[in-house]
């Protein structure tokens, strides 16, 4: 979505909108990518379902209404009216991709073909004639050219969303103007392995040009590389070209170490990096992987690194010291398909641990102010911790405000957004860091030497957020406030060995005082099942602590929407197939975190601590 300015949303005329449609829509609209709609498999409505023209029209109207509801739900206010899809305006086309024909109102007006002609020709089996009279490629390409923006238009409104640098700098002006002669600014959107050249980096150029032999700088990796080859894509085929200029998507050989989301610029420059490319869902299931044959270890490490760079929804952690190789994904099936099967295809036999669920730690209420003393007793820090407002966490989830940012200079835009969400203006002005949807705020006034230890305070905060006090799981939704500090005048007495333990102690104790709550991941799923087999599926969902949110029926099949804890969903796919004789299937709609029931918290914490080799005693405040 970062590479393109417009997108065709494909919806099946028979099935309607599927769960993933809404997910990718959210992603597109978050990146300010404009949609048009193609309703596919219309031939099946005519031939299989034998719908009358009136029934077909009703079905199209329902699909278009549902698509527009999603657009209105996720698009920003200023694009609400402009970006809705409409048959009359030509932002909706209908057809059969498989049979290569399509139709739209502008095409009908231009050629005189009407819907009755289409129905007759499909019923007579004259698909090839229809594909000549109303060719899919022409209808869709006309729609793209007329209704989707070109880079010159799109970069003017997309840039502020995907790049947080100053638009008044030279490189900012070049990107706004999509200037091919300006300074190079490119974001890598995909890394694809190639047996001959290592990795090919695909990226969108926002300004400047890229060509063979050019020296470029990789901002995130702090290194300079020489471009060996540039190409453009035609489908999946790479066609080598002399150069690629601003507004285009390039395939680049020579920057094999780059990662998805890396910023590439001229070698002699350092520019503000592009916003990180984030998937809407966070990885919630982890497996430890090791090779059956120890000789395969180097191969496994390379393969895991490769897999992690190809699919950004997977997180690969390789700890060379402990020899742990951890892969985290969206669920058991995701890890099975993208990791275990792939490694098998590469000829690496592996042992995978049972799936480990990733929890989150948060707090119930506001804590007292806690004093943290340095080991030498010469420095004191005073913190309290309270929950972040729900609407602020929600805005971070939707990407309206950043969930990871270090505030180096005044960020007026962020201050405004947080004030609108009801946060105290003094707090908003004094945010130091937002990390993993947690905030560190400095409410102190005129403390001597504070600016010399502030980086250590941030470091202490981040380390607690990464590993909470209860079960060493990441924290979420915390507002950590520094209210006061006393610091020794001699820098020797306020080094990291003194500051970090004091800061960590105060935040950790503050969390315990506020009452730590464990959040568990839950999958929102859609289950499609024949109606007569629904009873068994309902029982199975409830046995797994699941909750049915909605049941609807369509053509003898029931569609259930359910919410099931990730810890309980392992093996659900196989059980569902067995209950329904292979006729039931489920798909993921969303991943959310909710509070674990109180009665399960202690045993879950003990289990996590045991797995991590910690003492099984649940930490209490006096420690």
Is residue 80 pLDDT above 90, yes or no? no
Cβ-Cβ contacts under 8 Å for 48 (sequence gap 6 or more)? 14
Quick check: helix, strand or coil at residue 170? helix
Superfamily name and number for 285-355: Elongation Factor G (Translational Gtpase), domain 3 (3.30.70.870)
Tell whether domain 6-149 is in CATH 1.10.1060.10. no
What is the spatial distance between Cα 224 and Cα 245, in angstroms, rounded to a whole number?
20
Residues 576-592 pLDDT 10s: 999 999 989 888 888 89
Is residue 622 pLDDT above 60, yes or no? no
What is the reported pLDDT for 433? Answer: 96
pLDDT-derived band at 404, boundaries 50, 70, 90? confident
- CATH 2.40.30.10 residue ranges of the chain are 152-266
- Give the percent of the chain with pLDDT over 90: 69
- CATH 3.40.50.300 residue ranges of the chain are 6-149
CB of 343 closer than 8 Å to CB of 224: no
- CATH 3.30.230.10 residue ranges of the chain are 362-514
527 sits in which H/E element: strand 516-530
Q: How does the average pLDDT of the chain come out, rounded?
A: 92
pLDDT-derived band at 510, boundaries 50, 70, 90? very high
Tabulate helix, strand, coil % of the chain (nearest 5). 35, 30, 35
Question: For the domain bounded by 362-514, which CATH number is listed?
Answer: 3.30.230.10
Residues 530-554 pLDDT 10s: 999 999 999 999 999 999 999 998 7
Residues 131-143 pLDDT 10s: 999 999 999 999 9
What mean pLDDT do residues 298-316 have? 84
CB of 343 closer than 8 Å to CB of 327: no
Range with lowest mean pLDDT among 158-172, 258-272, 391-405: 391-405
What mean pLDDT do residues 437-442 have? 96
Cβ-Cβ contacts under 8 Å for 89 (sequence gap 6 or more)? 147
Range with lowest mean pLDDT among 76-80, 361-365, 604-608: 76-80
Quick check: helix, strand or coil at residue 81? coil
Is residue 287 pLDDT above 50, yes or no? yes
Residues 20-31 pLDDT 10s: 788 888 889 989
Closest CA to 59 of 80, 72, 44: 44
Question: Exposure of 196 by Cβ count < 10 A (0-12 exposed, 13-18 middle, 19+ buried)?
Answer: exposed
Q: Which CATH class is domain 519-599?
A: alpha beta
Q: Under CATH, which architecture does the 152-266 domain have?
A: Beta Barrel (2.40)
- CATH 3.30.70.870 residue ranges of the chain are 285-355
What is the reported pLDDT for 322? Answer: 64
CB of 192 closer than 8 Å to CB of 202: yes
Structure tokens of 257? 């170490």
Report the predicted TM-score, pTM, of the whole model to 2 decimal places: 0.78
What is the reported pLDDT for 623? Answer: 44
């Amino acid at each position: 979505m970062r590479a393109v300015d417009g997108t065709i949303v494909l919806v099946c005329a028979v099935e309607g909108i599927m769960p993933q449609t809404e997910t990718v829509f959210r992603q597109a609209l978050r990146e300010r990518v404009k949609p048009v709609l193609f309703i596919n498999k219309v031939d099946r409505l005519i031939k299989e379902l034998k719908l009358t023209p009136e029934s077909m029209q009703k079905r199209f109207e329902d699909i278009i209404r549902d698509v527009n509801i999603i657009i209105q739900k996720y698009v920003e206010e200023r694009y609400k009216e402009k970006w809705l899809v409409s048959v009359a305006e030509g932002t909706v086309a209908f057809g059969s991709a498989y049979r290569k024909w399509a139709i739209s109102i502008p095409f009908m007006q231009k050629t005189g073909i009407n819907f009755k002609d289409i129905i007759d020709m499909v019923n007579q089996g004259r698909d090839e004639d229809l594909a000549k009279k109303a060719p899919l490629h022409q209808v869709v390409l006309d729609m793209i050219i007329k209704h989707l923006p070109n880079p010159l238009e799109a970069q003017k409104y997309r840039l502020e969303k995907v790049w947080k640098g100053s638009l008044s700098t030279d490189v900012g002006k070049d990107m706004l103007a999509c200037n091919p002669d300006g300074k190079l600014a490119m974001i890598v959107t995909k890394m694809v392995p190639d047996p001959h050249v290592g990795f090919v980096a695909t990226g969108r150029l926002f300004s400047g040009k890229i060509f063979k032999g050019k020296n470029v700088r990789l901002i995130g990796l702090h290194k300079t590389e020489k471009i060996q080859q540039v190409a453009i894509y035609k489908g999946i085929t790479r066609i080598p070209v002399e150069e690629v200029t601003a507004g285009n998507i390039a395939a680049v050989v020579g920057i094999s170490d780059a990662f998805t989301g890396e910023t590439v610029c001229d070698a002699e420059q350092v520019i503000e990096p592009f916003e990180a490319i984030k998937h809407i869902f966070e990885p919630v299931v982890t497996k430890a992987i090791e090779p059956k044959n120890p000789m395969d270890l180097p191969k496994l490490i390379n393969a895991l690194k490769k897999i992690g760079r190809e699919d950004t929804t997977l997180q690969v952690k390789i700890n060379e010291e402990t020899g742990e190789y951890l892969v985290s994904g969206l669920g058991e099936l995701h890890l099975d398909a993208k990791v275990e099967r792939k490694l098998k295809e590469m000829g690496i036999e592996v042992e995978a641990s049972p799936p480990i669920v990733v929890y989150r730690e948060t707090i119930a209420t506001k804590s007292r102010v806690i004093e943290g003393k340095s080991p030498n007793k010469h420095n004191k820090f005073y913190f309290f911790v309270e929950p972040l407002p729900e609407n602020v966490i929600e805005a971070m989830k939707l990407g309206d405000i950043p969930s990871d940012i270090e505030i180096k200079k005044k960020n007026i835009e962020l201050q405004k957004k947080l004030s609108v969400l009801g946060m105290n203006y003094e707090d908003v002005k004094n945010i130091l860091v937002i990390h993993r949807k947690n905030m560190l705020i400095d409410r102190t006034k005129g403390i001597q030497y504070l600016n010399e230890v502030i980086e250590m305070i941030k470091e202490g905060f981040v380390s607690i957020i990464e590993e909470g006090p209860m079960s060493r799981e990441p924290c979420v939704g915390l507002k950590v406030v520094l209210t006061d500090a006393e610091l020794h005048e001699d820098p020797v007495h306020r080094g990291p060995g003194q500051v970090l333990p004091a800061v960590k102690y105060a935040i950790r104790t503050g969390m315990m005082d506020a009452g730590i709550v464990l959040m568990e991941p839950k999958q929102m799923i859609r289950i499609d099942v024949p109606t007569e087999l629904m009873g068994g599926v309902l029982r199975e969902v409830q046995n797994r602590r699941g909750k049915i949110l909605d049941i609807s029926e369509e053509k003898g099949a029931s569609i259930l929407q359910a919410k099931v804890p990730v810890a309980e969903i392992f093996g659900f796919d196989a059980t569902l197939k067995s209950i329904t004789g292979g006729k039931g299937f489920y798909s993921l709609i969303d991943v959310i975190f909710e509070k674990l029931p109180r009665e399960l918290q202690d045993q879950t914490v003990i289990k996590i601590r045991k797995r991590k080799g910690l003492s099984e005693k649940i930490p209490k405040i006096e420690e």
